[in-house]
A and B are shown apart, each in its own frame.
Chain A
Amino acid sequence: MDLKTLIPQKLKEEFPSTEFEVSEYRDELTIKFEKKIIVDVCSFLKSDVDLEFVWCSDITAIDWATRKNRFTVVYNIFSMKHNFRLRLKCDVDESDCSIDTVSSVWQAANWQERETYDMYGIKFKNHPDLRRMYMPEEFEYHPLRKDFPLMGIPGSLPLPKK
């Protein structure tokens, strides 16, 4: 069976009470679902013998600025066995700006989640070492948020004295 139909079908069997929003764009499959089952879905996709999504190639987020669910966390994963890319999406609202970490599933997710936390301020619950990736530790803002000015906030990053 084609993976594009097999993956949604397997997910529906495994998680019958959850709604999966499946879409396809430019020959790539995207699956959107609620954030509370993210760890279960990821470990299922990795461990299932027919799928084997062993590589988490990237984790990032989208800031929609004005929408009800302000952020969308995006997981790009890859199956070496089938040479197949899959995109997972979970909505995160600003009022509860957190999602469970998948670093227990893929070790590679550790730094990718730290980067997403640094740039968007989304907290990854149970993350072993959630520090900033790029910006200095004492920096208070999250630069890739839409309300962050392009030139930064004056005085927020200290310079040495002349």
Chain B
Amino acid sequence: MGLESYLKDEGFLTTTIDAMIAWARKSSVWPMPMGISCCAIEMMAAGDPKYDIARFGSEVMRFTPRQCDLMIVAGTVTYKMAPVVRKIYDQMPDPKWVIAMGACTSSGGMYRSYSVVQGIDQFLPVDIYLAGCPPRPDNLLHALMMIQEKIGKTKAAQFKNIKIDDKGITVPDLNVIQKN
């Protein structure tokens, strides 16, 4: 029956470490819900049983940045809020990704004003810009799938927290958080 019968016949599979790690990483992207305004409501809706972000392994919304892989910036970021968002991003361990959810975070949206940052890419590296005001939950799921695709294509050596030392051995780079 099922998986067990395969194990009985073959008992092993061949793959690369990169593929294994990428598969594990993309199947459990833990989001940091940076819900600042109305987009956050749609982000919550993406977690409910109807849209069910758990189907993609991302139901574990962590409210501490130290356990997160993906920051969903959902809402208008003002100049006063920008240092806070950046500080939380800096506290997330590498590797990490960012979704700019909605028009406000992507470009300032309808708030063309002195107080609103006209796009969070001025102070954060953004992976996905998500259109909509606010975007529907299925749109957020689509962005998550694109992030998964990106993670799947990334090799372990390309992550920022890996460096190659003078003997040619890959080691974790412990200074990476200070470097940001």
The 7 closest A-B pairs by CB, nearest first: A152-B114, A160-B86, A157-B79, A160-B123, A159-B123, A160-B83, A159-B82
13 contacts between A and B (CB under 8 A): A135-B80, A136-B79, A143-B114, A143-B115, A149-B114, A152-B114, A152-B115, A157-B114, A160-B87, A160-B123, A162-B123, A162-B124, A162-B125
CB atoms of A162 and B114 under 8 A apart: no
Query: Does A161 sit within 8 A of B, measured CB to CB?
Result: yes
Residues on B with beta carbons closer than 8 Å to the beta carbon of A15: none
Query: Does A49 sit within 8 A of B, measured CB to CB?
Result: no
Query: Does B64 sit within 8 A of A, measured CB to CB?
Result: no
CB atoms of B82 and A136 under 8 A apart: no
The CA of A95 and the CA of B114, in the complex, are separated in Å by 26
The CA of A32 and the CA of B32, in the complex, are separated in Å by 53
Query: Does A150 sit within 8 A of B, measured CB to CB?
Result: yes
| Distance from A115 Cβ to chain B, minimum over Cβ atoms (Å) | 14
Chain A contact residues: over half helix, strand or loop, or mixed? loop
Query: Does A1 sit within 8 A of B, measured CB to CB?
Result: no
Q: A116-162: which have CB < 8 Å to B? A: 134-136, 143, 148-153, 157, 159-162
The CA of A135 and the CA of B114, in the complex, are separated in Å by 11
Q: A92-110: which have CB < 8 Å to B? A: none
Q: A66-96: which have CB < 8 Å to B? A: none
- Residues of chain B having any CB pair with chain A under 8 Å: 79-80, 82-83, 86-87, 112-115, 117, 122-125
CB atoms of A151 and B112 under 8 A apart: yes
Which of the listed residues A149, A153, A157, A160 has the most CB atoms from chain B within 10 Å of its own CB?
A: A160
The CA of A157 and the CA of B86, in the complex, are separated in Å by 15
- Residues of chain A having any CB pair with chain B under 8 Å: 134-136, 143, 148-153, 157, 159-162
Residues on B with beta carbons closer than 8 Å to the beta carbon of A153: 114
The CA of A143 and the CA of B83, in the complex, are separated in Å by 21
Given contacts A159-B79, A159-B82, A160-B82, contact A151 B125 (CB under 8 A): no
| Distance from B141 Cβ to chain A, minimum over Cβ atoms (Å) | 28
| Distance from B128 Cβ to chain A, minimum over Cβ atoms (Å) | 17
CB atoms of B113 and A150 under 8 A apart: yes
The CA of A157 and the CA of B113, in the complex, are separated in Å by 13
| Distance from A136 Cβ to chain B, minimum over Cβ atoms (Å) | 6
CB atoms of A159 and B122 under 8 A apart: yes
The CA of A150 and the CA of B112, in the complex, are separated in Å by 8
CB atoms of B117 and A150 under 8 A apart: no
Given contacts A143-B115, A151-B112, contact A162 B122 (CB under 8 A): yes
Residues on A with beta carbons closer than 8 Å to the beta carbon of B80: 134-136
Given contacts A159-B79, A160-B86, contact A151 B123 (CB under 8 A): no
Given contacts A159-B123, A161-B123, A162-B122, contact A148 B79 (CB under 8 A): no
The CA of A119 and the CA of B59, in the complex, are separated in Å by 42
Residues on A with beta carbons closer than 8 Å to the beta carbon of B86: 160
The CA of A160 and the CA of B90, in the complex, are separated in Å by 11
The CA of A162 and the CA of B85, in the complex, are separated in Å by 12
The CA of A135 and the CA of B80, in the complex, are separated in Å by 7
Closest to A162 in B: B123
The CA of A153 and the CA of B79, in the complex, are separated in Å by 13
Partner of A148, one of B87, B114, B122: B114
